[in-house]
Amino acid sequence: MKLIPKAVEQGFRAVTQPTVNSLIRAGIRPNAITTVGTIFVLVSGVAYGLGSIRLGGALLLVSGIIDTLDGAVARASAQVTKFGAFYDSTLDRIGDGATFMGIAVWLLTTPDQVAFRVPAIITCMTAIIASLLVSYARARAEGLGLDCKVGIAQRAERIVGLGLVSLFVGAGYQGLVLEVTVGLLTLASMITVVQRFVYVYQVTEGS
């Protein structure tokens, strides 16, 4: 089970398919799309760090949309390569780190009173580790020949959850809304890691 229903994912792919077709006709390569998406998420991290929470959320959502296009273009134009998969996965991890690091910088440097400043910063650090573990667990399982896409919160859920809350609500009173959102996403990521551990154990050792 995932937080984003499959029907929503299918609807999103249908909506973005014309854009995918246009990119293919223009000769835009998937790795170029990946690079542009990473630039957006890095700028999003900077915006969070400077306290522009709504702008950070908007840029994060844009980066997420772009992130879905590179794979779609690669598959539709038969440009899927091992390096492309490696490049995309590696830059995604950079993006995850930049987002939560930006939030941590804001929590650390904002002159306004922020509730639970130290615990919130620690949560951001934990979020970075958890998001990396979600990806690593899948990659390591795939290295063993297993298809490990289980879990309630993958990268899309983190981007949509954090991006929408940031865009429409902002940080909230004393940063509480943003802190709670990061906390919930961190918890969901940790649950996902456990789900993947259990899945790999069941497949490899039996239950």
pLDDT on residue 113: 82
State the average pLDDT over residues 151-178. Answer: 94
Q: Which tens digit of pLDDT belongs to each residue from 91-107?
A: 999 998 999 999 999 99
What pLDDT sits at residue 112?
77
Rounded Cα gap, residues 144 and 139, in angstroms:
9
Whether the pLDDT of residue 206 is over 70: the answer is no
Above 90 in pLDDT, residue 14? no
The DSSP call for residue 147 is: -
pTM over 0.85: yes
pLDDT (average), residues 168-192: 96
Q: Is 62 helix (H, G, I), strand (E, B) or coil?
A: helix
Taking the domains of the chain in order of start, what are their residue ranges? 6-205
For residue 4, pLDDT beyond 90: no
Check pLDDT > 80 for residue 111: no
Instruction: Give domain 6-205's CATH number out of 3.90.420.10, 3.40.190.10, 1.20.120.1080, 1.20.120.1760.
Output: 1.20.120.1760
To the nearest 10°, the Cα dihedral for 56, 12, 161, 138? -110
How many CB atoms sit inside 10 A of residue 141's CB?
A: 20
Check: CB of residue 162 under 8 Å from CB of residue 58: no
**pLDDT > 80? residue 53:** yes
Query: Could you write out the three-class secondary structure of 79-97?
Result: CCCHHHHHHHHHHHHHHHH
